[in-house]
């Protein structure tokens, strides 16, 4: 690539406010726009992570009639991302509404204020019960525009876009530091359900946005520090499946971590000791059986509640979550677009209710086909949060 073109790409993908949420790829965030429903629904995918454990983060844009756009869960408003939205504005009218769909996920909340400033005509609607840590600050202090930020009305029919979009907000689940909450939206014309963190489908192959920069995939495809970075479809797939295990279990049972001494010694054999390759340091020791752990997590790509939410969040309020799910299931959707991983997911209300049945069991992780050992770190985190009185005990259903 010519240096001038490479410089232009960097300018288009620049995100100067990355220190607010210091996640890889830091100041460079490529955006992939995909048309999901012709002339009606588009996804805008970026990616983020820690130590090359990268997953997609997604914004969805819906066309309204007779004109205008609704934006659900904004991503980083890089010049590239804004230009892609402005292309839609030229054809379908301005961004009219921006929806902040979560009260907990800082990786979503951090982008709403900067995104809204790029579209000064848009009204911003936020899920109630917003909070921040360590200080619980007013929304304008968090960057949201004071004169055009509103709480989503308790009754969906009272929203200005109610003639085309329904929504349902999960009753706040008390986590100790603050509540968990999420708003799901249903675009009636396209029969599309939008959710944030509550539901996922895990793909067997790496998501398309991660293929824009495959280095993290290839980094995790290695078995030792001495292995070179080799770009093949097989290595991209292998790296992705290991990343998925990291992302959902933090420390799956089939992973061992090298001691500092061993890691430093083995780094000497690395063919690449650059900063990009963490100076040759590679602590991961994948054990036989990791592929089976991924297959249990993958579950043939079916719709599911993520293990982290099962273990640390939704079991604090299973009745509230099930009531929310039943409300959503009254909408006749044909596809679901989450803010992470696979999208769109072909699914109907019965599929959604089946996914949430995991909350019917107080020991959900044992009854859903996940290897119990893979939940060990999540159990330890739960116990530590309870001991420190940061989290609340589980609610028996």
Q: Three-state SS for 168?
A: strand
For the record, the structure tokens of 55 come out as 């997953």
- In this structure, are residues 370 and 307 in contact, taking their beta carbons and an 8 Å threshold? yes
Q: For 310, phi and psi rounded to 5 degrees?
A: -60, -45
Q: Where exactly are the structural domains of the chain?
A: 31-201+305-357, 213-300
Q: For 302, phi and psi rounded to 5 degrees?
A: -75, 160
Note down pLDDT in tens along the chain; length 397 residues. 566 666 777 899 999 999 988 999 999 999 999 999 999 999 999 999 999 999 999 999 999 999 999 999 999 999 999 999 999 999 999 999 999 999 988 889 999 999 999 999 999 999 998 887 766 777 777 788 999 999 999 999 999 999 999 999 999 888 777 889 999 999 999 999 999 999 999 999 999 999 999 999 999 999 999 999 999 999 999 999 999 998 888 777 888 888 999 999 999 999 999 999 999 999 999 999 999 999 989 999 999 998 788 888 888 889 999 999 999 999 999 999 999 999 999 999 999 999 999 887 544 444 445 556 655 655 665 565 555 545 556 665 5
CA 158 vs CA 69, 103, 152, 168: distances in Å? 18, 21, 9, 12
CATH architecture of 31-201+305-357: 4-Layer Sandwich (3.60)
CA 12 vs CA 27, 28, 134, 262, 283: distances in Å? 11, 9, 33, 41, 34
Residue written as tokens 């996920």? Answer: 105
Query: How many CB atoms within 10 Å of residue 171?
Result: 13
- In this structure, are residues 239 and 232 in contact, taking their beta carbons and an 8 Å threshold? no
**DSSP strands (E only) in 64-122:** 69-72, 95-100
DSSP state of 295: H
DSSP state of 268: T
pTM for the structure as a whole: 0.91
């Amino acid at each position: 690539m010519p240096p001038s073109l490479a410089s232009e790409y960097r300018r288009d993908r620049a995100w100067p406010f990355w220190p607010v949420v210091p996640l890889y790829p830091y100041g460079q965030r490529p955006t992939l726009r995909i048309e999901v429903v012709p002339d009606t629904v588009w996804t805008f995918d970026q990616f983020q992570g820690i130590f090359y454990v990268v997953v997609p983060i997604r914004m969805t844009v819906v066309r309204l009639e007779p004109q205008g756009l609704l934006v659900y869960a904004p991503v980083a408003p890089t010049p590239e991302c804004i230009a892609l939205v402005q292309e839609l504005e030229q054809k379908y009218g301005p961004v009219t509404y921006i929806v902040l769909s979560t009260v907990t996920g800082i990786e979503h909340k951090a982008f709403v204020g900067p995104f809204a400033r790029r579209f000064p005509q848009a009204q911003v609607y936020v899920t109630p019960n917003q909070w921040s840590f360590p200080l619980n600050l007013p929304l304008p202090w968090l960057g949201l525009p004071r004169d055009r930020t509103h709480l989503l009305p308790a009754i969906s029919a009272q929203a200005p876009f109610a003639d085309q979009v329904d929504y349902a907000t999960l009753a706040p689940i008390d986590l100790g530091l603050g509540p968990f909450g999420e708003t799901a939206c249903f675009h009636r014309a396209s029969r599309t359900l939008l959710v944030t963190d509550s539901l996922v489908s895990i793909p067997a192959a790496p998501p398309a946005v991660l293929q824009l920069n495959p280095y993290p995939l290839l980094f995790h495809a290695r078995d030792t520090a001495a292995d070179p970075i080799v770009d093949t479809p097989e290595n991209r797939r292998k790296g992705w499946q290991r990343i998925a295990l990291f992302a959902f279990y933090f420390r799956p049972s089939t992973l061992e971590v090298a001691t500092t001494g061993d890691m430093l010694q083995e780094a000497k054999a690395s063919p690449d000791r650059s900063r990009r390759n963490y100076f040759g340091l590679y602590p991961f020791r994948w054990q036989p059986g990791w592929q089976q752990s991924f297959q249990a997590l993958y579950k043939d790509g079916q719709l599911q509640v993520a293990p982290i939410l099962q273990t640390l969040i939704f079991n604090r309020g299973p009745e509230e979550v099930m009531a929310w799910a039943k409300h959503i299931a009254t909408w006749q959707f044909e596809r679901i677009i989450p803010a992470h991983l696979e999208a769109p997911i072909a699914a109907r209300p019965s599929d959604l209710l089946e996914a949430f049945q995991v909350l019917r069991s107080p020991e959900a992780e044992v009854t859903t086909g996940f290897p119990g050992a893979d939940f060990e770190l999540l159990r330890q985190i739960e116990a530590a949060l309870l001991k420190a009185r940061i989290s609340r005990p589980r609610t028996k259903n």
